[in-house]
Structure 1
Amino acid sequence: MEMENGNQMSEQVPTSRSSVVANVQEMVRRSTSYVPENYITNQDDRPNCSPVSSDVPVIDLSLLDGRNEEELKKLDLACKHWGFFQVTNHGVAEEILNNMKDTTSSFFKLPFEDKKKKLEYWPTNPPKLKDAIETYSSEVNRVAKSLLGHLSLSMGMEKEALLAMHKEVMQSLRVNYYPTCSMPDRVLGASLHSDTSSITILMQDDDITGLHIRHDGGAVTNKTTARISSASFIMPYHDVEIEPLDQMVDPQNPLKIYKKIKYGDYLKESLKEKLEGKAHTMKAKLETV
């Protein structure tokens, strides 16, 4: 269901193709054990899973805002070696987070006939859905801008550098519902991929495994409990030109691997291909490299 300001809510059957199926909950309600053959992932495409959740870097945003140099170094290492980190002390009130979780959960619990109704912008049920999403999105926007500032500092630039490059931050929200699955080891909610946004801020259920992070070469759908995740994609305007930053190019070997390209064109080209690792970055590589 398309929503205002790029917001989306979707029910997803776990699939390596990341396709959206409108009646996913109805299919699961009819049979909790049946999984269509085309949703079973090839053995070679399944991630090699190991319990590394305790090793994922944890970044304290309040320390970053206090200009703590050690925390800034942790952020730099997290980006270089993981490309992923958890954020604590972000300042988003627990009430706002819980309200977002509760109202989106209520939406997905609605009868199928109610959920498939398309309005111009927002569903009227649950009645507080619009307010919950707008309040949550406003807080995520604040956190995103703070992170962009600290990322700028970690790369040796002025704090406002990355934010200025965006012209004005665009933000898109996608709320996904992943049903229970009788074959969690054989089915993926989404194929292995890297997002095309500048950064993605993800909120998911605290006590339900499902998210996989690829690290050093090596949780999917859950067998007993459905999962909801809210992904906020932070990106520049479509006409912003993106290219390697001078600070990131080795002065001893100034050859650039990627070309200058408008973000909108880069995004458009990446969406034409199947989500697969970092394959979308090939669209921006120079042909001579």
Structure 2
Amino acid sequence: MGEVDQTFIQAADHRPKLETIEFDGIPLIDLSTGDIKVLVSEIADACKNWGFFQVINHGVPLELFTKINIAAKTFFDRPIEEKRKVKRDEVNSYGYHESEHTKNVRDWKEVFDFLIKDPSFLPASPDPEDKEIRTLRNQWPENLPEFREVCQEYARELEKLAYQLLELMALSLGLPSNRFDSYFEDHTAMIRFNHYPPCPCPELALGVGRHKDAGALTIVAQDDVGGLQVKRKSDGVWVPVKPTPNALVINVWSNEAYESVEHRVVVNSERERFSIPVFFFPSHYVMVKPLEELVNEQNPAKYKEYNFGKFFVARSRGDYKKLEVEDIQIHDFKII
């Protein structure tokens, strides 16, 4: 990834021209507070006004962060031919992936994806008439005996935290704490190791371009290098999410009551960066639509119903094939 070719230079056109400020206003929430009403109120304010927040005292063992970061670095330090032995393909989107600098893809990174529930199930194709369901399994690298065990331990802990956050979000919307549980019984949640190598021309590239996440919840552990930026809803300014020791960054979405906001990752020329997001996706058979309890004449549904599994497969295949069109997005289902 060290070469700078013409397609990489063209990536300058992709970089947002919005102003960036050196100020970290992302809310920081202590999950260990004993006052549930205060906690739920803080969650509601953060979700409504930012769509992002950080949590501390979240219950994930701190030593586990050290172990998972070592596991990620150990994998990415392997020779490229070893990493490619577990490379993803069009059918199975889990495993290793190198970003390519083509017309539409300018991410300066490499990734390794794995499922929390192994196996998991997704539709065989995005075709609405195709009823076939495919079984997907993780690809684990050889000759790394502790790698799989650490990944699975981390997955169990983050799964518990995700359910806790969903309960708090449900309460913050005035709903029963278990309101979202049924949507995630056979969840398709995944964990991603992101590695952003030092970039020779950081002013011409992004680690990840501006985008919105497609899941209900994203939980991100980032190292001390920094690079994650959030576009503030109030004025469109890019705000850096400064790394907070032992904190996790949360990104949410819900019928624009809690709107997933645009975010991106910038790179630098001196230090590599690692981040580990958990994308908490619902079951493949879930029909995603605004909650009935929250829809009325004053707050109508803003999105059409769609099947999550079909949506995810279409998005994954479009990304894999590097199509000359934008990948399917949540906003494609917005009611005009």
2:6 is equivalent to residue 37 of structure 1? yes
Instruction: Give the deviation of 1:96 after TM superposition.
Output: 0.6
2:156 is equivalent to residue 138 of structure 1? yes
Instruction: Give the deviation of 1:186 after TM superposition.
Output: 1.9
Q: What corresponds to 1:117 in structure 2?
A: 85
- Looking at structure 1, the residues matched to 23 and 155 of structure 2 have their Cα atoms a distance apart, in angstroms, of 26
Residue identity in the other structure for 2:164: S
Instruction: Give the deviation of 1:174 after TM superposition.
Output: 1.2
Residue identity in the other structure for 2:267: T
TM-score by length of 1: 0.78
Instruction: Give the deviation of 1:53 after TM superposition.
Output: 5.2
Secondary structure of 2:283's aligned partner: coil
Q: What corresponds to 1:281 in structure 2?
A: 330
Q: 1:177 aligns with which of 185, 195, 205?
A: 195
Q: What corresponds to 1:227 in structure 2?
A: 273
Q: What does the per-residue CA deviation read over 1:155-193, in whole Å, with 9 as the maximum and x for residues that have no partner? A: 010000012233333320111111101221221111111
Q: What corresponds to 1:197 in structure 2?
A: 215
Structure 1 stretch 53-62 or stretch 82-91: which is displaced more?
Answer: 53-62
Secondary structure of 1:203's aligned partner: strand
Instruction: Give the deviation of 1:147 after TM superposition.
Output: 0.1
- Looking at structure 2, the residues matched to 117 and 244 of structure 1 have their Cα atoms a distance apart, in angstroms, of 41
Structure with greater proportional strand content: 2
Q: What corresponds to 2:90 in structure 1?
A: none
TM-score by length of 2: 0.68
- Looking at structure 2, the residues matched to 51 and 128 of structure 1 have their Cα atoms a distance apart, in angstroms, of 41
Residue identity in the other structure for 1:281: I
Instruction: Mark the runs of 5 or more structure 1 residues left unpaired by the alignment.
Output: 1-23, 29-33
- Looking at structure 2, the residues matched to 168 and 203 of structure 1 have their Cα atoms a distance apart, in angstroms, of 24
Partners of 2:188 and 2:284 within 8 A in 1: no
Instruction: Give the deviation of 1:111 after TM superposition.
Output: 2.1
Q: What does the per-residue CA deviation read over 1:201-250, in whole Å, with 9 as the maximum and x for residues that have no partner? A: 11111x2021111113125012100111111110111111111112332x
Alignment of 1:220-259 (within 5 A): 220-249=266-295, 251-253=296-298, 255-259=300-304
Residue identity in the other structure for 1:241: M
Q: 1:268 to 1:123 in 2, by over 3 A?
A: closer
2:16 is equivalent to residue 46 of structure 1? yes
- Looking at structure 2, the residues matched to 39 and 76 of structure 1 have their Cα atoms a distance apart, in angstroms, of 40
Secondary structure of 1:87's aligned partner: strand
Secondary structure of 1:231's aligned partner: strand
Residue identity in the other structure for 2:204: R
Instruction: Mark the runs of 5 or more structure 2 residues left unpaired by the alignment.
Output: 88-137, 238-264
Residue identity in the other structure for 1:217: G
Structure with greater proportional helix content: 1
Q: What corresponds to 1:217 in structure 2?
A: 236
- Looking at structure 2, the residues matched to 225 and 132 of structure 1 have their Cα atoms a distance apart, in angstroms, of 25
Alignment of 1:33-112 (within 5 A): 34-40=3-9, 41-43=11-13, 45-46=15-16, 48-52=18-22, 54-63=24-33, 66-112=34-80
- Looking at structure 2, the residues matched to 267 and 124 of structure 1 have their Cα atoms a distance apart, in angstroms, of 28
Partners of 1:169 and 1:234 within 8 A in 2: yes
Residue identity in the other structure for 2:25: D
Would you identify which runs of 4 or more consecutive aligned residues in structure 1 move more than 6 Å? 276-279
Secondary structure of 2:168's aligned partner: helix
Q: 1:49 to 1:163 in 2, by over 3 A?
A: farther
Q: What corresponds to 2:311 in structure 1?
A: 266
Q: What is the aligned length?
A: 252
Q: What corresponds to 1:7 in structure 2?
A: none
Residue identity in the other structure for 1:59: I
CA RMSD after TM alignment? 2.6
- Looking at structure 2, the residues matched to 36 and 179 of structure 1 have their Cα atoms a distance apart, in angstroms, of 16
Quote the sequence identity (%).
Answer: 29
- Looking at structure 2, the residues matched to 134 and 284 of structure 1 have their Cα atoms a distance apart, in angstroms, of 34
